[in-house]
Structure 1
Amino acid sequence: MNILVWVVAGTWPACVGAAKDIAEVRHRAGQDVSITLLHVIDDAPHEVAAGAFDALMGRGRHRDPAEQIRQLTQEAAEDMLAAAHHELGLPATRRLVTGRVERVVTAAAQDADYVIVGRDGDRSRLGPDSLGRHTRFVVDHAPCAVMLIWPETAPSLGSIPPPPPRHQRPGEA
């Protein structure tokens, strides 16, 4: 069984915990489990910073802040993947990729039996807003089973908004 864990700040501990639970159950059943920890660095912010720097400062000798942002982002992502691997406590492959987040995760799920993702939107109530746009794309397009995790205790059923009123046609009571 191949499990892909999408490692994202704020949600990865719960996702790694779910992967660990699955791996332990499968191991007791005598099944092999392969886990990949994936983090994707969105390349769009770096491109914006580079363009802004070029527009404002020209191509002089100044140190490019986009490169500084890229380096700090890379280091933070590597640290997060290392922490996730340590927390997992099992053999796993770590992948750090730069690109369009939702597309990279969906493509990486091609070889997985499960992709584990965390709810990264409004976590104060149940509903579709509990998924960020990248997560919504992955949930809708993943070519494998998706395990959707609440990073903390799920809100109560009382957080679901009431249904809209029924519209009555003229003449209906």
Structure 2
Amino acid sequence: MRVLVPIDGSDCSFAALDYALDLYNMGGVTLHVIHITDYETDASEELLKKATDRLSAAGIDAEPELVTSLGLDSPKASVKIGEHIVSLLEADDYDQVVIGRHGERGRLEDFLLGSTSETIVKHAPVPVTVIPA
């Protein structure tokens, strides 16, 4: 089973990674960890190192992928990220996605800002496991 795990550095995204590592430990699972951002920064390097350390501790010799090519300067960047993740799920034959979900927001905030996890849940062609904040 191939599982995609998008991370953004938040506690809930690392909780999603921990959940995916539990799946990995059950056997028969391959993980692909991805971080999508505008630019590679010290913060993104730090979160990639944190994720790599967690993967290494689980015996996984892999590095998370960094994607910086989406042009996320729009107000609805989270929707664009969600759409990119859905396209990865379709193109790369994943079986599941495990993603963290930030705390509850209002409808106006979701309308204005979008929601990565909501976009994925609505459009993913595979099962989605959402780990709340």
Taking structure 2 as the reference length, the TM-score comes to: 0.71
Aligned partner of 2:75 in structure 1 is: none
CA contact (8 A) 1:37 1:85 kept: no
Let me know the Cα RMSD of the aligned residues.
2.1
Following superposition, the deviation at residue 15 of structure 1 comes to 0.8
Please identify runs of 4+ aligned residues in structure 1 that moved more than 4 A: none
Structure 1: gaps (5+ residues): 44-69, 124-128, 152-173
Aligned length: 110
Residue 35 (structure 2) pairs with residue 39 (structure 1):
yes
Aligned partner of 1:21 in structure 2 is: 22
Write the distance in 2 (CA, Å) between the matches of 1:143 and 1:19: 18
Deviations 1:121-164, CA, capped at 9 Å, x for gaps: 328xxxxx8xx61210011111211111123xxxxxxxxxxxxx
CA contact (8 A) 1:3 1:36 kept: yes
Larger Rg: 1
Q: Percent identity?
A: 30
Write the distance in 2 (CA, Å) between the matches of 1:74 and 1:103: 23
Taking structure 1 as the reference length, the TM-score comes to: 0.56
Q: 2:86 aligns with which of 101, 106, 120?
A: 106
SS of equivalent to 1:38? strand
Aligned partner of 1:134 in structure 2 is: 116
CA contact (8 A) 1:114 1:144 kept: yes
Q: 1:95 aligns with which of 57, 65, 70?
A: 65
Write the distance in 1 (CA, Å) between the matches of 2:62 and 2:30: 7
Q: 2:131 aligns with which of 149, 156, 160?
A: 149
